[in-house]
Structure 1
Amino acid sequence: MENPTRKPLITLLTLTLTLIALNTYNPHASSALLGEEYRTGWSFPNLSIEDPITKPQFIEPGDTVELWVRIVNTGHSRASKVEAHIEHEKSEDSKNIIFMRSRSSLGVIDQGGYGIAYFRLKISPDAPSSIYKIRVVATCENMFKEKSEFSQNIEIPVRGTARFSISLLDRKPLTPGESRTLRFKITNTGTGTAQYLELKFGGDRSTTSPGASLTLTQQSVATSIPTKPTSQATPSMYPTATSTGSLPLSAPTPSYPPTPTVAPRGLTTLPMPTQTYITTLGAPAVYLGSLRPGESAVAYFRVHVDRNTPSGAFSVPLTIKYEEEVEQVWGPLSVTEIENNLTYRRDTTTYKQIVKEVSFTDYIGLLVVGKPDINIANVLTSPTTIRPGDNLVEITMMVENSGEGEARNVETYLLLEYPFEASQTRSDRAYVGLLKPGESRNIVFKVDVDEKAEKKTYTIPLVVTYKEEDGSAKEFRTGIELSLRGRPDFKIVKSWSEPLKLVQGQEDAKLYVTIKNIGSEQAESVELRVLRRSGQPFDFSKRSDFVGTLDPGEEATAILEFDVDKNAGVKTHILNISIRAVGDREEGDDNVYTYEDKIRLTIEKAPSRLEKLSTQSTAKMVVPLILLVVIVVILLVKIGSKRRGTT
């Protein structure tokens, strides 16, 4: 008996063998034989392109990006000759992306399995912040050698980072005790836009610390924007291979980048400030608004430098606060979701701006140059007591710099006026050179004092010239007080001889010399002496005379005795007179003072013998005549008296 199911089975087996044969020699014939509806529902794979994993996870302009894209076969048959590529011409914003590897071969993906396509691209350094879309196309063949194509736009979020350079526009160094307005130029050198930008002087603590090795130049301080630290994602979400799919040997193993560090790249940790030296006057923060890439703004801060600030370079913290925006993101996502897990993004129909607040502190160098403070101290003289007529008086003093800055090319000189003058050439000048803070130098001047100087305290102007560290020339003036003590001084008031007329051969003559103390101090042990001089026709039996003590304004007369040589020249002779005295010991003046002056003595010719006899005879005759005249005058007077009496 014939089996009723045998005929259908034979028919099905025959059909199967026929399909295999047709598929071997003509795949399209098998498709035509089965019908379109049967082929679509049973024989075609379906490739689903999912969101990528990127390395680095946080993409910035200029980065080289690796992409791993999972392609899942959700159809009902095996997909063979699976390939994936990026269509450049159909990718949005392709001008900002350089495709370094845009094709990936995945081989065979079984039903329900998946493969991972690997791509590599580079983001342009000038690319603005945005969500960039690239078109990924996956192709495959079904069991009938028919090709299918699937495409999907995937999103590459690029967050352009705002980076800043800060420069000081004021090159002039600060000085202790100074208040000044400083200008800071802040430039956005990055690719992201900084909104609601605020610059704060002094950071969170308005203090600075000395000792940082910074110089005051118009500098550009490059900084990096800190990236929010995130936990590392689990790479098992995209395994490297499965039983139904394999990863090509040419593609790297997909993994997430290491967790970024908290400290921004490019920033150097400086010591914590210890003392307030530079502070702000007024608001410590300045609002600058929005800065796009390449834009700049200037912030003004009024600062004060403490007067005790030492010279040197100071590291001043400047805190920058702003909000950074990624333009429009496809999907209702939060910042945390974007940064922590890119794989959970799903397409929706809403847009949302992503704004992140960023704050970091940078440092800029401020140079504080202390001003020198020149002082004069320890003025000493040699001799200690200066009196009129003193020569080579040494004036020693100390020039010190009690300021905080260097004084360079320090020179000093005295402005001498009567009764002072320089003892030697340039003895009224002294060169000091460099005076560092706290240093001092001793300098010496040599002056002469006029003999006629008045007893009083004189002020001699002293000029000090120097240059500050910035090269500016400065001048400092002060006065040096010198007290001139009194001293005796003499002059010859008058002199005469006895006899008044001196002749050749005159004997036992006397010379009277009256002197006066015209000084401002009492003179003790005053003595007058005639100085011996060869060729003079005088023989002094008493050459000197002790006068004693003379108060200021008092006079005294010294008497000298001498003979005139008989051969003395008939003329006026000059005698050198020396007056010697001791200062007022009660005033501490033990000095011996010597003065010289001159007097004149005129010698006339001695009379001859005949002139002497004539003179003597005349004298003898003159006496009787004088007596006779006197008697006659007396008699006449008496006679006249008697006549007046009788009448």
Structure 2
Amino acid sequence: MTGQRTIRSALTTLAILAILSLAVTPAEAISVKLMKYDPYPANTGEYVTVWIKIENPGLGSPSEAVGLRVVPEYPFSLEPGETGLEEIGMLSMNDFAIFDFRLRVDKDAIDGKNTLNVEYRDSVDAVWSETELSIEVESDKVDFEIADIDSVPLRLKPGDEDAKITVEIQNIGDGNAECVKSRLTLPTGFDASDSYSDIANLGTVTADASSQAVFYIDVDESVQPGEHIATITLDYMDKDSDEYKEETLDLRIPVKKTPLFEIVSSELTPGTLTVGDMVTLTMRIKNTGSEEAESVRVRAMLKSEQPFDFSNGNAFDYVGDLDIGEIGEAVLKFEVEDDAALKTYLMDTEIRCVEDEDIHLFDKKVPITVANAKQSNLVLIFVGGAVLMLLYAGYRFVRSKR
């Protein structure tokens, strides 16, 4: 009985093995593994060599016409002329083969794990099976971003001139950038204050480091409040690839609401000025901005080069609060000095106002024309004498007729 049980047990084991051998498909009888790759990690824009092991682990029978091929998909590609296919032929049970493939890693490959697709088969007519191998990639490319922006004045407004813009530019990539040059391109209504105030040289910006670009700009009074988009173009040499490259970043420039002023009319009394006249200058001033102006004052900017004397007049006037679009009136008084030349002068005036506890100053010019010279005393004496002589001559003529 014991012998029969032993025979029966052996037959059962053989039957199970036979069933298992039939259940194992050719593809399942082959395994593919990534042995290693060099360099580790692989670098973007460079080549990596991978070693792949294909093995018959002995789960089935010897495999015939075994094939292995690398599928060239992003971010990996084969060298020109390479197929990535290896025809192995027969692979006996518990036997293996190792092949190396030289692949190029795309320059834009992401940091971290990337997938390499590999296909294999164990006979000519078999369907290709696919497996995924993981390759660690490290990016050596330069990648810039704007880390911070500051300005003087802190809040830009329409009409600002020589505003200082400081931009902190950070290299968040793993590569080093050399000879970095930044160029600011401004939207409509903004201009560089000087010829080269829209260019800043940053030098070398290494990985994870930053550098400041300083620009000076003018903001036209026509610029509307809100956010305006400028661009910063960065030209640099990528030290790792020894290539000159370019990157563009968006720079958001916020512009606040502010009062603005326009002298819509000015009137002189008397209408035609003569040297020595006491003059009244009446100006109508309009708030053309986007915010209410409080405590508006107008002041004449005294200049020794201009023949206007305010000592007996009034060099400033208080207008009051002006809402958006509202017009106020300022009156100044001055005397035209005796040495004034007959011409048109541009009198500098300063309009001062308060907005959100900030003091704003605006410079405006008003034309003042001195048309007539002052008559001298000698002329008056000459004219008076001539009149008296004529009267005397007339008197003598009448007497002679009598």
Structure 1 length-normalised TM: 0.38
- Tell me what 1:375 maps to: 145
Residues 180, 234 of structure 2: 8 Å contact kept: yes
Distance 2:123 2:177 in 1: 43
Structure 1 residues 413 and 282 mapped into 2: Cα distance closer, same or farther (>3 Å)?
same
* Residue from 393, 398, 414 that aligns with 2:183: 414
1:157-236 paired onto structure 2 within 5 Å: 172-173=46-47, 178-181=75-78, 196=90, 199-200=97-98
Q: Tell me which residue corresponds to 2:363.
A: 595
1:442 partner letter: S
Which of 481, 490, 501 is matched with 2:272 structurally? 501
Residue number in structure 2 paired with 1:533: 303
How has the CA–CA distance of structure 1 residues 548 and 279 changed in structure 2, closer, same or farther, with 3 Å as cutoff? Answer: closer
The secondary structure found in structure 1 opposite 2:228 is strand
Q: In 1, are the aligned partners of 2:261 and 2:362 still within 8 Å (CA)?
A: no
What aligned pairs does 1:70-85 form with structure 2 within 5 A after superposition?
Answer: none
Residues 285/453 of structure 1: CA separation in 2 closer, same or farther (3 Å cut):
farther
Contact in 2 for aligned 1:410/1:433 (Cα 8 Å): yes
Distance 2:298 2:146 in 1: 46
Work out the CA distance in 1 between the residues paired with 2:230 and 2:166. 11
Contact 1:526/1:579 (8 A) holds in 2: no
Alignment of 1:102-501 (within 5 A): 172-173=46-47, 178-181=75-78, 196=90, 199-200=97-98, 280-283=116-119, 306=135, 309-311=136-138, 370-387=140-157, 388-402=159-173, 405-409=174-178, 411-417=180-186, 418-421=189-192, 423=194, 425=196, 428-436=199-207, 439-456=208-225, 457-466=227-236, 467=238, 469-501=240-272
Secondary structure at the aligned position of 2:258 is classed as: coil
Matches of 2:319 and 2:251, distance apart in 1: 39
Question: Which letter does structure 2 place at the counterpart of 1:578?
Answer: T
Q: CA RMSD in A?
A: 4.4
Shift of 1:412: 4.5
Question: Structure 2 residue aligned with 1:522, among 285, 292, 306?
Answer: 292
- SS in structure 1 of the partner of residue 251 of structure 2: strand
Kindly provide the CA deviation profile for residues 256-298 of structure 1, in whole angstroms up to 9, marking residues without a partner as x: xxxxxxxxxxxxxxxxxxxx9575413257999xxxxxxxxxx
Contact 2:260 2:290 in 1 (8 A): yes
SS at match of 1:415: strand
Relative distance call for 1:281 and 1:398 in structure 2 (3 A) is same
Query: 2:353 & 2:266 partners in 1: Cα distance?
Result: 23
How far 1:302 moved relative to its partner? 9.6
Selected match of 2:317 from 545, 551, 558: 545
**1:528 is paired with a residue of what secondary structure?**
strand
Residue 184 of structure 1: how far off its partner (Å): 9.4
SS at match of 2:358: coil
Q: Tell me by how many angstroms 1:421 deviates.
A: 0.8
**5+ unaligned residues in a row in structure 2: which ranges?**
1-37, 40-44, 50-72, 105-111, 125-129, 388-402
1:342 counterpart residue number: none
Distance 1:284 1:448, change over 3 A: same
Who is 2:332 aligned against?
Answer: 560
Percent pairwise identity: 17
- Find the aligned partners of 1:584 and 1:282 in 2 and give their Cα distance: 69
Q: Helix, strand or coil for the counterpart of 1:452?
A: coil
AA matched with 1:549: D
Q: 1:558 to 1:401 in 2, by over 3 A?
A: same
Q: What letter matches 1:600 in structure 2?
A: I
Q: Which letter maps to 1:517?
A: N
Q: Structure 1: 5+ residue runs without aligned partners?
A: 1-166, 188-193, 203-214, 218-275, 289-300, 312-368, 615-647
Q: Deviations over 1:377-435 (max 9, x none)?
A: 33333432112323141322231324xx4243262423323513155736522325253
In 2, Cα distance between equivalents of 1:304 and 1:178: 13
| Contact 1:422/1:428 (<8 A) preserved | no
1:327-353: per-residue Cα shift (whole Å, max 9, x none)? xxxxxxxxxxxxxxxxxxxxxxxxxxx
Structure-2 change in CA distance of 1:413 and 1:174 (3 Å): farther
CA drift at 1:482: 0.3
CA contact (8 A) 2:352 2:362 kept: yes
Q: Please give the TM-score of this superposition, normalised by the length of structure 2.
A: 0.57
Offset from partner CA, 1:43-86 (integer Å, 9 cap, x none): xxxxxxxxxxxxxxxxxxxxxxxxxxxxxxxxxxxxxxxxxxxx
Separation in 1 of the partners of 2:145 and 2:341? 67
**C-alpha offsets along residues 475-519 of structure 1, whole Å, 9 cap, x if unaligned?**
322210001223333232222222323334435x42212222233
Q: CA deviation at 1:305?
A: 5.3
Q: 8 Å contact 1:410–1:435 — kept in the other structure?
A: no
Indicate if the aligned counterparts of 2:75 and 2:114 stay in contact, CA closer than 8 A: no
**Amino acid across the alignment from 2:365:** D
Q: For residues 183 and 153 of structure 2, what CA distance do their matches in structure 1 show?
A: 19
Higher strand share: 2
Q: Which residue of 2 aligns with 1:205?
A: none
1:558–1:303 CA distance, 2 compared to 1 (3 A):
same
Q: What secondary structure does 1:533 align onto?
A: coil
Count of residues in correspondence between the two structures: 288
Per-residue Cα deviation, 1:16-47 (whole angstroms, up to 9, x for no partner)? xxxxxxxxxxxxxxxxxxxxxxxxxxxxxxxx
| Residue of structure 2 equivalent to 1:351 | none
CA deviation profile, 1:544-563 (whole Å, cap 9, x unmatched) = 11112223332222122334
Please give the secondary structure, in 2, of the residue aligned with 1:411: strand
**Does the 8 Å contact 1:530/1:575 carry over to 2?**
no
Conserved in 2, the CA contact under 8 Å of 1:416 and 1:422?
A: no
- Equivalent residues of 2:282, 2:329 under 8 A apart: yes
Letter in 1 for 2:329: T
Partners of 1:556 and 1:185 in 2: how far apart? 83
- Alpha-carbon shift at residue 593 of structure 1 (Å): 1.2
Shift of 1:173: 2.0
